[in-house]
Amino acid sequence: MESGTRTDGQGIAIPPHHLVQVTLAADGETLASLELGPAVSRNPVLTLALPDGIAGATLELEWRDNLGDSGTRSLVIDERTAATR
Amino acid sequence: MERRAWLGRVARGGLGAGGALALSGALADDAAPERDDLDAALGRFGADDAAADPRLVVDVAADAWSGAFVMVRVDASALDGVRVLHLLRDDHGPATIASLEPRGALPARLSLTIRLERPCRLHALARTANGWVRAEATVATVGAPGCG
């Protein structure tokens, strides 16, 4: 995550690079849409409170950054994880 | 969504009409962060008249040991029917940090790490069926600036 306000050792501006969109879905149903800007920290920590009854669901996370890169991750929420969320 | 089209939709009163479109364009163009000060963001969201509400909480340490990694929690779960939740900062550009559109049973609650270059106030805005509400918290000191 680069805010776009920093310069390198030669005084050249470092272009912004950060997440712009994150979408969280459970079993294909969207739970949350997030838009993020350059003020989010490097190596960001994002925490959402999952709804009740989520155990057994497959969570899918999609992300996109301001340079056009994107990716997805998924995991199954087991009973223990759901109980300790 | 292209910025001009988004502004047009706001002008027609379509902001927050539901679905993913409610969030689209919530953050200002990276190329012009100076245009996204707090007042501009409030105007863009149509939230100039947002009222303070104790059910909306912004939780942040008053003293940040490092501006590069400041943990913030925004909790609007005590409000009914939150359609969108924004986190903003003053005295920095761009002002808008993050926007969350919770769906279904997801609690309207978000924690995230942000960067701050200097002390400022953090503002939360939540849009419900009854309109906008707001809350704020102050970061009084920032140890090492986070190149906001």
Instruction: Calculate mean pLDDT across residues B96-102.
Output: 96
State the fold for domain B3-142. Immunoglobulin-like (2.60.40)
Instruction: Calculate mean pLDDT across residues A26-43.
Output: 94
Angle at B69 between CA B52 and CA B45, to 5 degrees: 35
| Residue-range domain boundaries for chain B | 3-142
In a domain, A48, yes or no: yes
Confidence of residue B138 (pLDDT cuts 50, 70, 90): very high
Q: Which residue has the higher pLDDT, B25 or B76?
A: B76
Q: Which residue has the higher pLDDT, B139 or B28?
A: B139
Cβ distance B110 to B74 under 8 Å? yes
Q: Which residue has the higher pLDDT, B1 or B101?
A: B101
Instruction: Calculate mean pLDDT across residues B110-124.
Output: 95
> How many C-beta atoms surround the C-beta of residue B128 within 10 A?
20
The pLDDT of residue B127? 97
Mean pLDDT of chain B: 80
Q: Which of B8-17, B30-39, B73-82, B83-92 has the lowest mean pLDDT?
A: B8-17
In a domain, A29, yes or no: yes
Residue B63 and residue A76: Cα distance in Å, rounded? 38
| pLDDT tens digits for range B19-52 | 333 465 566 544 344 457 888 999 999 999 999 9
Q: Range of A55's domain?
A: 19-84
Q: Is A12 on the interface with B (CB under 8 A)?
A: no
Q: Which residues of B touch A35 (CB under 8 A)?
A: 23-24, 26-27, 98-99
From B101, B112, B61, select the one nearest A44 (Cα to Cα).
B112
How many domains are contained in chain A?
1
Residue A6, Ramachandran bin (φ over 0: left; ψ between -120 and 50: alpha; else beta): beta
Count A/B contacts: CB-CB distance under 8 Å: 114
Which of B24, B68, B104 shows the shortest C-beta gap to A41? B68
Q: Is A81 on the interface with B (CB under 8 A)?
A: no
The C-alpha of A37 sits at a distance from chain B's nearest C-alpha, in angstroms, of 5
Q: How far is CA B125 from CA A38, B86, B95, in A?
A: 19, 5, 12
